[in-house]
Amino acid sequence: MIILLAAVSGAQQQDPWKDQADKTKDAVAALERALDLDYGSEGAGSSLLKEGKEHARAVLKKQKQRLAAIEKGRGLAIPAGRAERTRYPTYIKGKAQLFVGGAWKPLQEGFPLAVGDRVRAQDGSIVSLWIAGGFLTLDEKSEARISDQKAVSLNGGRMHWENLAPGADEIQCRTPTVAATIKGTEFDMRVRGGESVFVPFSGVVELRSLTRAVEKGAPRPAGGKSAGTAAPLSAGSKVGFVRGGASIRRGTKVAPASAGVSLAVGDVVTTGPGGAATLELEGGFRVQLAANTSFQVEKRSYSLLEGLAHVRSLVAGGLREDQWGFRTPNAVAAVRGTSFKLAYSNADERDEFIPETGVIEVTAKRSPKLRDSQLWWNKD
């Protein structure tokens, strides 16, 4: 939520935080009333009710942190030059810094941040901001910049975003390599080794690569021969390359995978420890499977069941009505003219999307297991 400082009336200035504090108190009271209601514990919908109440408790905790930050901000002196800039309350667990006058300086909890500010969380700390109806949390050793009223740039490290206002406008999150358009979504984003790693929790996000396009020729798989050119749009799917152990399951039958074997709808290709495979897929895709990966061929879509896949498309153009989808048990990515990496772990139901070129639109469903295993942003 964005706040504009009230104008000075006579010798006395109005409380710039009053409106936001009042709305936050109302939100806290409404959540507490909802959690006090007895919805019962029996019936087919009891698990959904339990999940909903757990989510409400998490939101209530964030709103209470927000209110505490606002109250602390009320007691801080406002530096000259900030009196007419948009402001964002901050919650800090540990230590944080603000880039001011060409140097990093300590940031106090509740201090009013504005468009253009750069902030970072120090070792063992987290920093949370409330922007455009959402809750953004920076992990330790992470840095971000408020680049616009509805835009944030993650310069390094990891952030978590959760939309707290249903129906809120889209916002933008940028890294050095990806621009993400957020549409009522919860996700993690990390800048790691020159790549931007996106972990969806729920909702829809469009990921647009900011890097230049790669060559259209296929890379040479390590330790083997080139897989050749991509399969034409009209061709069926097949295995292009195999190294180490790999198999194809068709119905109840399992056979070794080898170069040139055709793939049918429903087939599952699995690589073993130390194994790798390259698939030439209908739609003009080349997919490289890492070790310990399971990948299923479906009609106009493909599913990563476990492991890591590197997807390359030789079809130019953005998202269209005839787009193809790459799925995991929790998410689907609509792609065309795209190169990206996709990973999925059954252990914590975690997806990772790493865009390289083109556009990916990711839609994810909520996973309680993923949230329980990834609650770094919800530290007490």
**Residue listed under structure tokens 């006579």:** 10
- State pTM to two decimals: 0.75
Coil, strand or helix at 124? coil
The widest CA-to-CA distance across the chain, in whole angstroms, is 84
C-alpha to C-alpha distances, 89 to 15, 101, 155, 274, nearest whole angstrom? 14, 21, 20, 50
One digit per residue, the tens of pLDDT, for the chain of length 380 reads: 333 222 223 333 455 567 667 777 777 777 677 767 655 555 444 554 555 666 667 677 777 776 777 666 666 666 656 545 556 767 888 999 999 889 999 988 877 788 889 999 999 998 888 777 778 889 999 999 998 888 899 999 999 888 766 556 678 899 999 999 887 678 889 998 889 999 888 888 899 998 865 444 433 333 433 333 433 433 589 999 999 989 999 999 999 999 999 999 999 999 999 999 999 998 888 999 999 999 999 888 899 999 999 999 866 554 444 567 899 988 999 886 689 999 998 888 889 999 998 888 999 877 666 655 555 555 55
CA torsion, ordered 15, 17, 18, 21, to nearest 10 deg: -160
Cβ atoms of 247 and 269 closer than 8 Å: yes
Stretch (H or E) spanning 358? strand 350-364
C-alpha to C-alpha distances, 293 to 127, 302, 343, nearest whole angstrom? 36, 13, 9
Cβ atoms of 174 and 153 closer than 8 Å: yes
C-alpha to C-alpha distances, 69 to 16, 117, 226, 323, nearest whole angstrom? 14, 18, 57, 45
Nearest CA-CA partner of 285 in 230, 227, 325, 333: 230
- Token reading at 182: 């957020």
- Strand-strand pairing, 126-131 and 151-163: unpaired
Q: 2-15, pLDDT tens digit by residue?
A: 332 222 233 334 55
- Token reading at 218: 């296929």
